[in-house]
């Protein structure tokens, strides 16, 4: 009889078990990551719906409605992608579990058959006299010793076989339970996915109707876009000038050339700048609740896809009266107000700047030191469009940076 304590076999089994546990753990982590993404996207869609409901009755510009709908469609597409990935992962796990269940059932059948055979043999030789005769018939003491060890080993093996059957039975029950839960989870995901896809098709139909309406009056649309672009460009020019002036003033105080495009930093300011840079991708959003409606960089025009436009920051839609907060500690460099009463706050973090445009009221003043998450003001709502949007930008000295790479999960 082969020894059940074969060290080599035990090591191989241990390695296989560790690999299975590791694979299961990685799959579980991926599942949690996808579920977290799904919940974030669902929450974002809820916010978009709430903002659209509030704005619909106020907007006078169909282009604003199209942009809102475009954003909602993009987020829903992302949600569908995530749910498809979740469904695929569950399908893979279900298929693996089906194989495991089949293997466990096969193992159990063999274990039970083996165990039944051992019980039968034990029953035949159950008497103490048979055992004693087995020992007494030994030709030497060494053979008798080996037979004692054999009987002990056989008894232990039978006990372990019984325990293995119990363990395998329990594993099979747990696996069946997991398999059943995964099937239900997959069914729920598929149902939700179909629902979102139907909503998406309806929204795309409405979007096409809006675009058709806009394209009928291209001149009116072009005028609206041109006016908005001029306003945005003017704000950008003001921000650029403020930063250049602040750098020049700092260099003048430090006795350096005022034509330099980089800040003359004190040791304290340098430390803040290094700390700001070290937290790239981890900075809080400038509002507690918001959704990114436009990213940084080039984007296609909503009506004419052949036309490319540029966004110098990120646009975040949020609730009316939402509190605006500093994304990191720093110093208020400048506050200015447009002709329409919209305010902008610039915060310096060493050689870095963050700007917050779209405020109605400001609760800080130039020169104030602010901490991370500190309130700097409240949001402005455009009466014409009903929208409450913050334009957030990041600079290093005079160079614009992509804010999406600096904020957490943007």
Domain boundary residue among 216, 245, 274? Answer: 216
73 and 101: one domain?
A: yes
Model-wide pTM > 0.85: no
Q: Residue 94: inside a domain, yes or no? A: yes
- Examine the domain organization and report whether 180 and 234 are in the same domain: no
> What is the per-residue pLDDT for 142?
76
What's 319's domain CATH number?
2.70.70.10
Burial call 330-359: b when 16+ CB within 10 Å, e when fewer: bbbbbbeeeeeebbbbbbbbbbbbbbbbbb
393 and 286 in a single domain? The answer is yes
Residue 105's CB is within 10 A of a number of other CB atoms, namely: 12
Q: What is the pLDDT of residue 7?
A: 45
Does residue 292 lie in a domain region?
yes
Predicted local distance difference test score (pLDDT) of residue 121? 66
Number of domains in the chain: 2
227 and 202 in a single domain? The answer is no
In this prediction, residue 119 carries a pLDDT of: 65
Extract the residue ranges of the chain whose pLDDT is less than 70: 1-24, 54-62, 115, 118-136, 138, 145, 147-148, 150-152, 154-159, 161-162, 258
> Residue 31 domain-assigned?
yes
Contacts 24+ apart (CB under 8 A), 365-370: 365/332, 365/335, 366/332, 366/333, 366/334, 366/335, 367/331, 367/332, 368/331, 368/332, 369/329, 369/330, 369/331, 370/326, 370/329, 370/330, 370/331, 370/332
pLDDT at site 66: 80
The answer on 166 and 226 residing in a single domain is: no
323 in the same domain as 243: yes
DSSP letter at 407 equals B
Shared domain check, 222 and 212:
no
Residue 343, CA atoms < 13 Å, CB-side half-sphere = 17
Only one residue has tokens 């829903």, namely 76
Q: What is the pLDDT of residues 39-55, one digit of tens each?
A: 999 999 888 888 877 66
Say yes or no: 239 and 345 in one domain. Answer: yes
Q: Which domain holds residue 370?
A: 218-405
d(CA 195, CA 202): 11
- C-alpha 151/C-alpha 131 separation (Å) is 9
pLDDT at position 295 is 93
pLDDT at residue 396, as a whole number: 97
- Look at residues 119, 115, 120, 122 and name the one whose alpha carbon lies nearest to residue 164: 115
Residue 161 contacts by C-beta under 8 Å, 6 or more apart in sequence? 111, 114, 115, 118
Are 398 and 259 found together in one domain?
Answer: yes
Task: Determine the pLDDT at residue 13.
Answer: 46
202 and 222 share a domain? no
Final residue belonging to a domain, choices 176, 195, 216: 216
What is the separation of C-alpha 261 from the centre of its chain, rounded to a whole number of angstroms? 37
Cα–Cα dist 15/33, whole Å: 27
pLDDT at 346: 97
């Amino acid at each position: 009889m082969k020894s059940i304590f074969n060290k080599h076999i035990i090591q191989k089994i241990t390695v296989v078990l560790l690999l299975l546990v590791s694979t299961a753990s990685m799959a579980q982590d991926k599942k949690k990551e996808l579920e977290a993404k799904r919940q974030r996207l669902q929450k974002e869609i809820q916010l978009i719906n709430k903002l659209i409901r509030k704005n619909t009755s106020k907007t006078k510009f169909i282009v604003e409605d199209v942009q809102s709908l475009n954003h909602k469609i993009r987020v829903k597409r992302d949600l569908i992608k995530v749910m498809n990935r979740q469904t695929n992962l569950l399908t893979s796990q279900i298929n693996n579990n089906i194989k495991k269940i089949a293997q466990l059932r096969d193992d159990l059948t063999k274990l039970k058959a083996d165990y039944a055979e051992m019980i039968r043999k034990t029953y035949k030789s159950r008497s103490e006299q048979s055992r004693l005769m087995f020992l007494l018939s030994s030709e030497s003491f060494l053979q008798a010793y080996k037979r004692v060890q054999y009987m002990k080993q056989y008894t232990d093996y039978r006990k372990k076989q019984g325990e293995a059957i119990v363990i395998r039975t329990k594993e099979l029950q747990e696996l069946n339970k997991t398999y059943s839960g995964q099937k239900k989870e997959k069914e729920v995901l598929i149902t939700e996915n179909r629902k979102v896809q139907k909503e998406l098709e309806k929204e795309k139909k409405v979007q096409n109707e809006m675009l058709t309406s806009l394209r009928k009056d291209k001149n009116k649309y072009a005028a609206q876009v041109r006016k908005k672009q001029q306003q945005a460009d003017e704000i950008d020019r003001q921000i650029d000038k403020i930063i250049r002036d602040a750098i020049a003033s700092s260099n003048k105080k430090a006795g350096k050339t005022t034509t330099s495009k980089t800040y003359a930093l004190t040791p304290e300011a340098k430390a803040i700048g290094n700390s700001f840079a070290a937290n790239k991708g981890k900075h809080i959003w400038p509002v507690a609740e918001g959704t990114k409606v436009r990213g940084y960089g080039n984007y296609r025009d909503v009506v004419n896809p052949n036309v490319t436009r540029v966004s110098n920051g990120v646009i975040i839609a949020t609730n009316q009266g939402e509190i605006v907060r500093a994304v990191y500690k720093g110093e208020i460099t400048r506050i200015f107000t447009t002709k329409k009463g919209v305010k902008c706050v610039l915060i310096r973090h060493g050689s870095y700047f963050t700007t917050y445009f779209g405020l109605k009221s400001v609760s800080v003043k130039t020169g104030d030191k602010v901490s991370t998450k500190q309130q700097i003001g409240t949001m402005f709502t455009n009466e014409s469009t009903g929208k409450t949007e913050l334009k957030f930008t990041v600079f290093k000295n005079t160079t614009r940076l992509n804010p999406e790479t600096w904020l957490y999960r943007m």
